[in-house]
Amino acid sequence: MPLDRFVLILVAVVAAAGATVVIATLLLGTWLSPGLGLAAAIPVLLVAYVLWRVISHRIAEAPDDRYDGIDN
């Protein structure tokens, strides 16, 4: 397995574990203190929205992907 693929998998696993902990913390915070959970959830939802827009933009431009780096 190439080193770059291994590092990509490792980063994805660590990011998923971190996201799981953050989401669990937000849910527990919302359950225990609704004001604190809402204050923390708003920035998280904004970041998720921006990521969703970036991914959907990348998928929509599949035939003419300028981020691809491969000349056709």
pLDDT in tens, 12-56: 999 999 999 988 887 787 777 767 666 777 788 888 899 898 888
Give me the domain span that covers residue 7: 3-60
This prediction's pTM? 0.46
Distance CA 27, CA 19 (A): 12
Q: Give the pLDDT of residue 69.
A: 64
* Alpha helices (H) along 1-72: 3-32, 34-60
| Residue 28 is assigned to a structural domain of this protein | yes
| In a domain? residue 67 | no
- The pLDDT value recorded for residue 67 is 63
- Residue 35 falls within a domain, yes or no? yes
What's the number of domains the chain is made of? 1
* Residue 71 placed within a domain: no
Q: Of 27, 31, 57, 60, which Cα lies nearest the Cα of 41?
A: 27
- On whether residue 70 sits in a domain, the answer given is no
The dihedral built from the CA positions of residue 59, 69, 16 and 27, taken in this order, carries a sign that is: negative
Amino acid, single-letter form, for residue 16:
A
